Amino acid sequence: MISHDDRRNFYRMMVNAEVTLTQVTTDSRYEGTCINLSATGMAVSVDEMIDADMELEARLEAADQMVPALNAKTKVIRCTPQGDGSYMLGLEILDVV
């Protein structure tokens, strides 16, 4: 397990790309924008509140069709309301599939 301090050592890439989130247990879908991505997690802006600890499958399409999409199992660590009515998710990447 990577400690909190170690997680902060990973470089974050600014992404600003569309991401589809699918709830593992119900197949509910959420559309959002991936703001940044690191080796252990991602920040995603969504239009509705999503509960902490929920497991989601994330699919992030690459801008270049030569690069495969990122498919990952994730867990919601936090969901923070933003001033514009959206929510910022902090997602932990559990596994890349």
Closest-CA residue to 22 (of 14, 13, 31):
31
pLDDT higher at 47 or 9: 47
Q: Is the pLDDT of residue 10 over 80?
A: no
pLDDT confidence of residue 62: 78
pLDDT, tens only, 40-69: 999 999 999 999 999 999 999 877 777 788
**Boundaries of every domain in the chain:** 4-96
| DSSP E strand boundaries for the chain | 13-23, 29-37, 41-46, 55-60, 70-81, 87-96
Query: For the residues 77-82, what does the mean pLDDT come to?
Result: 98
pLDDT, tens only, 18-43: 999 999 899 899 999 999 999 899 99
Q: Which fold has domain 4-96?
A: Thrombin, subunit H (2.40.10)
